[in-house]
Amino acid sequence: MKVTVSRKAHFNAAHRLYRKDWSHEKNDEVFGKCNNPNFHGHNYELTVSVTGNIDQETGYVIDMKVLKDIIKNEVEDAFDHKNLNVEVPAFKDLNPTTENIAVVIYNKIKPKLDGELDLEITLYETPRNFVTYSGS
Ligand code: NI
């Protein structure tokens, strides 16, 4: 019997979407306002979902305090109030799109979980735009 437990978190971060190897015109055409050279911020809303069997002793899939601490250490401390392009090494050569941020978050959290647990990351960049990644 598999059960999914989820915890929400959020962080504010700045970014700029662009490719160094494209002209300013092409970056503008593809990335629009997100190519602003002076960066801009988003209020990212994150849902981390963990799926697994209920532990017969504890009744938990995962202790929420453990999950909370993993999210704090791996995501909030690393991304909150940061300029993703400049201050977060994962995005030095990776465009910080919502898609790529979700994959980076997945790759940071997954190794911290017990191996039999499945992970899904949902990341909202705006209230209407969001991305889901579950490792496939
Ligand atoms: Ni943006």
Please indicate whether residue 40 is annotated as part of the active site: no
Residue 116 Cα to ligand 1 midpoint, Å, equals 35
Of 54, 71, 45, whose CA–CA distance to 4 is shortest?
54
**Domains of the chain, residue spans:** 2-14+44-133
* Max Cα-Cα span within the chain: 60
pLDDT in tens, 24-48: 999 999 999 899 999 999 999 999 9
CATH number of 2-14+44-133: 3.30.479.10
Q: What is the pLDDT of residue 10?
A: 97
Q: Rounded to the nearest whole angstrom, what is the distance from the C-alpha of residue 29 to the centroid of ligand 1? A: 14
| Mean pLDDT, residues 68-88 taken together | 98
Confidence category of residue 136, pLDDT binned at 50, 70, 90: confident
80 C-alpha vs ligand 1 centroid, how far in Å? 15
- Ligand 1 centre to CA of 9 (Å) is 19
Buried b / exposed e along 79-118 (16+ C-beta atoms within 10 A):
beebbbbeebebbeeebbbbebbbbbbbebbbeebeeebe
Predicted TM-score of the model (pTM): 0.95
Helix (H, G, I), strand (E, B) or coil at 136: coil
Is 120 annotated as catalytic? no
Q: Is 57 a catalytic residue?
A: no
Active-site option among 15, 40, 81, 116:
81
Dist. CA 50 → ligand 1 center (Å): 27
d(CA 102, CA 81): 17
What pLDDT digit, counting tens, does each position of 79-107 carry? 999 999 999 999 999 999 999 999 999 99
d(CA 113, CA 124): 23
Mean pLDDT across the stretch 75-82? 98
